[in-house]
């Protein structure tokens, strides 16, 4: 295995699939010669050339319009929207066209399209460039929603997303891009729709996504020193959702905390809490606790941004409070 940064693992996943399938093409702003504003497409233009790695105008509508058309005519586009906040500029294409074409054509037209985008806070970009918007996509039937928390999953889940016959929104967290981890050499594919249990304890279950996964793991490290053993589950995919794993771990400990960067109102944790309460209520020792960002625009000032985002200290404090410690 090689040590790769998250950003390099993204490029490795794209390159793996471009070598495997000549139909895979890449569209986006500054993804060719500049190799991506977040350096997630380094080396791709050099290896695959300008026919398959194409810079686009600064227009989210143009990017997704071209990508959707390419997908409808036999290609497998990977389209980059620079910041996930800018999905709002092309949401009609995402929610009303890309997500619904297979259904409305009675299966005659598929859209094998991956929309990659930089998501999340922690890098002081302010309210218009720091949102976590996975819940926007989760609410639209016809879209698959993926948000990896580490470099190995960034490569493996992206490869699976590119191979998928339906549209996938792939959220790459900006705060994770520099983090390094061991990534399998050669072909690496992780199946969509499978959560991963990263550590197992008998007292509480922490359910997290993307940048909140390392946050939950740090909280679990602090809690175990106090005699509280926490299970940490990385959701990885919101759609399809691995409810079986989440329910099993919720029932095993009876105490569940969701750790999410989304604003509290209508976050993904609310849906998971609802499923757990409906499906394994009798196994719970207390209601599911949601640890979220408050329902406010994200500030750019470092101390203010840190104060609204879930932190390992806040997660550990919520667990202690629930356990009466």
Helices 268-280 and 243-253: angle between axes, nearest 10 degrees: 60
Q: For residue 188, indicate whether it is catalytic.
A: no
In whole angstroms, what is the distance from residue 132 CA to residue 120 CA? Answer: 4
Under 8 Å CB-to-CB from 291, ≥6 apart: which residues? 257, 258, 259, 260, 269, 310, 314, 315, 318
Q: For residue 60, indicate whether it is catalytic.
A: yes
In whole angstroms, what is the distance from residue 320 CA to residue 325 CA? Answer: 5
Which member of 17, 29, 35, 60 is catalytic?
A: 60
Give buried/exposed letters for 193-232 (b at 16+ CB in 10 A, else e): bbbbebeebebbbbbbbbbbbbbbbbbbebbeeeebebbb
- Partnered with residue 27 across adjacent β-strands are 54, 79
What's the full length of the chain, in residues? 325
What is the Rg, in whole angstroms, of the alpha carbon atoms belonging to the chain?
19
Which member of 17, 29, 80, 129 is catalytic?
A: 129
Torsion of CA 245, 155, 111, 34, to 10 degrees: 150
In whole angstroms, what is the distance from residue 59 CA to residue 7 CA? Answer: 23
CA dihedral (130, 131, 133, 135) positive or negative: positive
Residues marked as catalytic:
60, 129
């Amino acid at each position: 295995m090689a040590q790769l940064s998250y950003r390099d693992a993204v490029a490795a996943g794209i390159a793996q699939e471009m070598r495997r399938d000549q139909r895979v093409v890449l569209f986006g702003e500054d993804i060719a010669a500049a190799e991506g504003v977040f350096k997630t497409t380094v080396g791709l233009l050099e290896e695959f050339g300008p026919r398959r790695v194409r810079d686009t105008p600064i227009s989210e509508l143009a990017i997704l319009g071209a990508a959707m058309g390419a997908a409808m005519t036999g290609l497998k586009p990977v389209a980059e929207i620079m910041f996930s906040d800018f999905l709002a500029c092309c949401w009609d294409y995402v929610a009303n066209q890309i997500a619904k074409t297979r259904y409305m054509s009675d299966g005659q037209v598929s859209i094998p399209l991956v929309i990659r985008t930089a998501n999340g806070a922690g890098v002081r970009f302010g309210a218009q460039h720091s949102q976590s918007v996975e819940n926007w996509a989760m609410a639209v039937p016809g879209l698959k929603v993926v948000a990896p928390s580490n470099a190995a999953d960034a490569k493996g889940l992206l490869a699976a997303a590119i191979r998928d016959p339906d549209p996938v929104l792939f959220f790459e967290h900006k705060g994770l891009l520099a983090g390094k981890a061991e990534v399998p050499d050669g072909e690496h594919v992780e199946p969509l729709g499978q959560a991963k249990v990263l550590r197992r304890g008998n007292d509480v279950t922490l359910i997290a996504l993307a940048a909140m996964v390392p946050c939950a793991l740090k909280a679990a490290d602090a809690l175990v020193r106090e005699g509280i053993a926490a299970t940490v589950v990385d959701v990885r995919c919101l759609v399809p959702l691995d409810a079986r794993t989440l329910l099993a771990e919720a029932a095993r400990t009876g105490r569940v905390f969701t750790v999410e960067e989304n604003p509290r109102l209508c976050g993904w944790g609310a849906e998971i809490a609802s499923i757990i309460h409906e499906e394994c209520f009798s196994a719970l020792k207390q209601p599911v606790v949601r640890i979220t960002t408050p329902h406010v625009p994200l500030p750019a000032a470092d101390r203010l941004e840190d104060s609204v985002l879930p932190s390992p200290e806040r997660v550990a404090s919520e667990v202690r409070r629930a356990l009466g410690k």
